Structure 1
Amino acid sequence: MSTAPLVIGHRGACGYRPEHTLESYQLAIRLGADYIEPDLVSTADGVLVARHENEISGTTDVTARPEFADRRTTKIIGGRTVTGWFTEDFTLAELRTLRAVERLPSVRPQNTLFDGEFSIPTLQEILDLARAEERRLGRAIGVYPETKLPSHFQSIGLALEEPLVSALHANGLTGPSAPVLIQSFEAANLRKLRSMTDLRLIQLLDEPGDLRTIAEYAYGVGPDKDLIVPRDAAGRLRAPTTLVSDAHAAGLAVHAWTFRAENPFLPLDHRIGDNPAGRGDGIAEYELFLRLGVDGVFTDHPDTAVAAISAMQGRPMPVPV
């Protein structure tokens, strides 16, 4: 792995392809990502598949499938009432019949051209893809899985930890030097994983946390970038916090999320025009965070992160392959 800040293909290259598909992950790799990031949920038969949430009405064509109309239900997930279709109510064979669709069609209308083309991948298929791309490119391709809603899946007898660790170890991915980082918002999940594997763990943060405590079990933190550079009520950038330096002082790496090129996701300072599907000055945003010392960035557009890092380090821009 490079000593430069890591480029993490968030859900693949989902700025260009429907998220969490093999085609999205492959494009992220070919655009220069160091790691690809699958969010993992379970099927009814205990297979780990890649979806951002276990509710799949916004990322698949399940709503148009009359054969699954009776699977629509309401559940309490993480304290919220959610109605829809859930991966744990489908076998892998049933999920295989569904096709991915673009989650943000109004922001990424070009991605809707791929609606219905791609399937839902399993963790093993993602690991196989990474291995094949390693052979093709001659460089390591890291995998950065997130356990989604692990407490929920534990509560219904479909714990994520065991099949995740089993799959990684079976594929020869063991030890802190392996190109794997496992992330979760749930500290209990990470502590359980620490007892099962010596792979590196990342504590995700959407609010400030006790960094010294996190350092007892994790390699690093994955903070919402607003925890590093807050925004005011109008969306303008405020002064940076000390989170990066504090994390480094605690011995933790910092991988910030999520960088996106389109105006709605950028601070007001970096937007260009008012078209919600238009791109702003995302490079300026990367530059700000890279100067603050982040060790990696989760991005929907890996090529833009690669360009920003290359420019700041005075290196030639790599050619996508």
Structure 2
Amino acid sequence: MVRNLLLKSVSGALALGFAISLAAPAFAQSDPLIIAHRGASGDRPEHTLAAYELAIDQGADYIEPDLVVTKDLELVSRHENELSGTTDVASREEFENRRRDKTIDGQRVAGWFAEDFTLAELRTLRAKERVPSARPGNIRYNGLYQVPTLAEIVQLLRAKEAETGKSIGLYPELKHPTFLLEDAGIDMVDLLLRELRDLDIGPEDPIFIQSFEVGTLQRLNQRSDYKLVQLIHPEGGPVDEPDMRYAEMVTPSGLAEIAAYADGIGPWLGYVLDSATMAPTNLVAEARALGLQVHPWTLRKENGFLPAPLQNSGGPAADGAYRQLWSAAIASGADGFFTDNVKEFIEVAQAKDAAGD
């Protein structure tokens, strides 16, 4: 039974996604992990304490914060280090002169960047919905929430564990670590390991650390025993390995190389399901044979995130025929899924179990 998967549209390629949210999970230990992608981001603006808490209440096993860094070296949670997509920084006159152009992972980006703000300055900003066309209901929460630190997220997890008696895992992603090291001299690997030590989170705790970069994970593997996950995009290759393609990573030889430094892979769902038939590929079996867990991304329910054949009427914010996709994802046998919609995923998984699939 699959609990969690997130869908992502990518340049006309099949976009796959998974999501669910439920108040009281009823899964056995062997069930796939439900990874709340950026929190309950289908119901609240992503990467806010409100989104993380709701995802936990809905039944998530892990919450997934994307980590960026402030000027004074505090780890905070944002989808990107560029802030205007997820905060009100562009409307703040006092920060108008902070607007910059930067080349990040080969792409020119204009905006306001977390590494140019102290934590105190970042505290004055308020979060907003990143994709309002697909999630207009989340707009009502714009302006309510601050940007959380990693320490605050861990504090929330521990409070919810005490409240529920359930272990809740952490699944952080390091965003653009090579860029930050080269551009600002900020070593995210060192910062994260130091912060986890200070927060008393060890490798034996429920935590996965993920990255699209190879060298970052290899350094983490050399310096720690945390469980590591290599993210695999449908296009391009790792920015720190210009001669490597993500498509090569899902071949048997590519998987064998990953198994030398990581414990799992986080592939785009299109690598796990055939785009035409939604039948499972060989990826899960081949990765498992090498001892790698498989956590595909991302399961989402709105038309705007689903492939065209699964879209219904009503525009990008309306629910599409996501249950068909999610049921196929669950049938792939993956170990866990990233999802924006924890409640709905659990409902699909329970219905599939009840049907005996």
User: Which TM-score tier does this pair reach, normalised by the shorter chain?
Assistant: over 0.9
- 51, 60, 68: which one aligns with 1:24: 51
Q: Does 1:174 align with 2:202?
A: yes
Preserved CA contact (<8 Å) 1:7 1:34: yes
Distance 2:163 2:72 in 1: 33
CA distance in structure 2 between the partners assigned to 1:183 and 1:172 by the alignment: 19
Question: What SS does the aligned partner of 1:202 have?
Answer: strand
Shift, 1:14, TM fit: 0.5
Give the whole-Å Cα distance in 1 for the aligned partners of 2:350 and 2:130.
30
Q: CA deviation digits over 1:238-261, x for unaligned, max 9?
A: 654211111111111100101111
- 1:224 is aligned to 268
Amino acid aligned to 1:297: F
| Distance of aligned partners of 1:100 and 1:125 in 2 relative to their CA distance in 1, 3 Å threshold | same
In the alignment, does 2:256 pair up with 1:212? yes
**Distance in 1, Cα, partners of 2:332 & 2:279:** 11
Distance 2:272 2:146 in 1: 36
Distance 1:93 1:299 in 2: 31
- Residue aligning to 2:349: 309
Residue pair 1:258, 1:300 contacting (<8 A) in 2 also? yes
Q: Find out whether 1:12 has 2:56 as its counterpart.
A: no
**Aligned equivalent of 1:160, options 188, 195, 207:** 188
* Distance in 1 (alpha carbons) for counterparts of 2:277 and 2:55: 28
Give 1:282 deviation, angstroms. Answer: 1.9
Structure 2 distance, partners of 1:221, 1:22, is: 26
- Say if 2:92 is the partner of 1:65: yes
- Out of 279-288 and 144-153, give the one that drifted further: 279-288
Letter in 1 for 2:210: Q
For the Cα contact (< 8 Å) 2:279–2:328, is it kept in 1?
no
Residues 191, 217 of structure 1: 8 Å contact kept: yes
Higher relative contact order (CA 8 A, sep 6+): 2
Query: Partners in 2 of 1:31 and 1:15 — Cα distance?
Result: 12
For residue 199 of structure 1, what is the aligned residue in structure 2?
Answer: 226
After TM superposition, the structure 1 = structure 2 runs for residues 141-290 of structure 1, keeping only pairs within 5 Å, are 141-155=168-182, 156-175=184-203, 177-206=204-233, 207-208=246-247, 209=249, 210-231=254-275, 237=277, 239-290=279-330
Counterpart residue number, 1:110: 137
Question: Counterpart of 1:140 in structure 2: which amino acid?
Answer: S
Gaps of 5+ in 1: 316-321
Aligned residues: 310
Letter aligned with residue 200 of structure 2: G
Give distance in 2, aligned partners of 1:52 and 1:136: 28
TM-superposed CA distance for 1:31, in Å, is: 0.6
Structure 2 runs not aligned, ≥5 long: 1-27, 234-245
Of 329, 332, 339 in structure 2, the residue corresponding to residue 292 of structure 1 is 332
**In 2 relative to 1, CA 2–166 (structure 1 residues): closer, same or farther, beyond 3 Å?**
farther
1:273 to partner: Cα distance = 2.0
> When the two structures are superposed, what TM-score results if normalisation uses the length of structure 2?
0.84
8 Å contact 2:101–2:109 — kept in the other structure? Answer: yes
Runs of 4+ in 1 over 4 A off after TM superposition: 236-239
Supply the distance in 2 between the matched residues of 1:190 and 1:314 (Cα, whole angstroms). 39
Shift of 1:280: 1.3
Q: Distance in 2 between matches of 1:62 and 1:230?
A: 41
Among all aligned residue pairs of Structure 1 and Structure 2, give the percentage whose two residues are the same amino acid. Answer: 47
